[in-house]
Structure 1
Amino acid sequence: MYNHYVVWFLPLNRGEAVEVIKRAYEIAREHARKAGGRLEPIQPKHIYGGEADKFGYTLQVGRITVTLPPASTLVIWGFYNADEYLDFIRFIHDGRVYEWFVEPIAYYPERIGVWLEEPLIFRNTLYIDVHTTSTEGRDRVYGWPLGYFIAPLQPPQEVKTPRKPKSGQSKRGKGEQT
């Protein structure tokens, strides 16, 4: 079963919005410090991987599977929406569903909404469901999550299990005298 969380937005022109963005940045910076990594704004390559050029800064209608590189983190604090038909986004991660009703953001002058709570933090694999009210056969909407991507500067070391010596071999190896 999934736990559902409904997210409501605050327009960017409200004072609390600046505090939300500052808090999200500090959280992202702390994750970057702990991972020994770099922090950058979310880009199409972080969502789509090798298919980033196909969609750019738009979201594919339907379900998007986002597989983050090892030890990477996505911190999302808000949403940009320039599509009057974009209805809602669902982020599904570790048994939790975060529903963002984004339609009103298209009517804000800056078209940006900031989530009132703590930023969403994702690792490993997440799913993004994108829903539109358009009756046209569209493959994308003009909206984009706002936040930060944190990646380690060096990929994590692969953990190797110790190999057992072959039967009849000493731990010192072949041909060594004891």
Structure 2
Amino acid sequence: MWFLPLGRGEAVEAIKRAYGVAQEYAKKIGGRVETLQPRHIYGEKAEDFGYTLQVGRIGVTLQPASVIVLWGFYNADEYLDFVRFIHDGRTYEWFVHPIAYYPERVGVWAEEPYIFRGSLLIDVHATGGEQRDRVYGWPLGYFVAPLQPPQEVKPPRGRRGPRGRERGQGESRRGGEERS
């Protein structure tokens, strides 16, 4: 069985395991753990979609040192066929159609949680005759981000010319010169 209904004891253990993984990453980077939200997937377009998935391909670019840890899926759309997560050239497929029939509509991944960093592609496929731009499903997991963004690396300063001043600059102001 790929997915476990939320009501099963093994599902609770899988969620705890995923949270433990997220906490370990947060300790490594000095970060925080949040539940996965639309702003983590869509960025500035988060308000357009909310907790729904755009049908087709979604490109996700994570901040440096950020991590997504997925443990399950919410599916309230009987036409949501499957979701593919593509990371570093590897495809992870989640067939989420039966989750819509669980009473809680949540399926927990029975294996270890998926861990994504850097960039990620999400392919969403729906069946049905009507043209749709979104499905009512959402990946469940944790987003781990550093508390402060990584420090920007500054290039070294230019070489100094004669008498300690930078090349191309005028004479330094010394002595009794006034500033204008």
Question: Do they fold alike, i.e. is TM over 0.5?
Answer: yes
Q: Secondary structure at the match of 1:65?
A: strand
Q: What is the rounded CA distance, in whole Å, between the counterparts of 2:98 and 2:111 in structure 1?
A: 18
AA aligned opposite 2:7: N
Structure 1 ranges of 4+ moved more than 3 A = none
Q: Secondary structure at the match of 1:25?
A: helix
C-alpha displacement at 1:33, in angstroms?
1.2
1:104-132 CA distance string (max 9 Å, x none): 00001110011111111111110000000
From 145, 169, 173, the equivalent of 2:164 is 173
Flag structure 2 segments of 5+ consecutive residues without an equivalent. Answer: 166-170, 173-180
- Equivalent residue number for residue 80 of structure 1: 74
- Equivalent residue number for residue 136 of structure 2: 142
Tell me, yes or no, if structure 1 residue 42 matches structure 2 residue 42. no
C-alpha displacement at 1:162, in angstroms?
2.6
From 140, 153, 157, the equivalent of 1:159 is 153
- Equivalent residue number for residue 101 of structure 1: 95
AA aligned opposite 1:75: V
AA aligned opposite 1:143: G
Q: Secondary structure at the match of 1:130?
A: strand
Show the 5 A alignment for 1:87-126.
Answer: 87-126=81-120
- Equivalent residue number for residue 60 of structure 1: 54
Q: What is the rounded CA distance, in whole Å, between the counterparts of 2:157 and 2:84 in structure 1?
A: 44
AA aligned opposite 1:104: P
Flag structure 1 segments of 5+ consecutive residues without an equivalent. Answer: 1-6
AA aligned opposite 1:144: W
1:50-77 CA distance string (max 9 Å, x none): 0000000000000000111121111100
AA aligned opposite 1:106: A
- Equivalent residue number for residue 10 of structure 1: 4
Q: Secondary structure at the match of 1:33?
A: helix
TM-score of the two chains, using structure 1 as the length reference = 0.89
The structure with more radius of gyration: 2
Q: Secondary structure at the match of 1:131?
A: strand
1:156-178 CA distance string (max 9 Å, x none): 01123434516xx26x83289xx
Q: What is the rounded CA distance, in whole Å, between the counterparts of 1:93 and 1:19 in structure 2?
A: 25
C-alpha displacement at 1:97, in angstroms?
0.4
